[in-house]
Amino acid sequence: MNSYDMLLQSVSAIARKLQELQALAGLLDFCGHEPVLRLSRTLCRHYFAIDPAAAVGYIDAYRELWDDGETEGWE
């Protein structure tokens, strides 16, 4: 096996692990990443009209996990 094949196998293995992680992890787990936080805000605003209690529960969960009082967070 040459070095290209080994590299390809390594990258493929990493990609498989990332796909597994994506399947296991929830959106809230990645709210420390600004684009994911923006997506979460958009989703909660959408779901607030459908189920306000669920949306508020999700926002509270975010604050418990991520809000350190120093960032804008969910506002």
Q: Say if 74 falls within a structural domain.
A: no
| Percent of the chain with pLDDT strictly greater than 90 | 28
Banded model confidence at residue 19, pLDDT cuts 50, 70, 90: confident
Count: domains in the chain: 1
Q: What is the pTM of this model?
A: 0.54
Q: Say if 73 falls within a structural domain.
A: no
The 10s digit of each residue's pLDDT in 35-66 is: 888 888 898 999 899 999 999 998 888 888 88
Q: What residue numbers bound the domain in which 35 lies?
A: 3-66
Q: Say if 37 falls within a structural domain.
A: yes
- Kindly tell me the sign of the dihedral angle through the C-alpha atoms of 27, 66, 57, 41: negative
Q: What is the pLDDT of residue 25?
A: 64
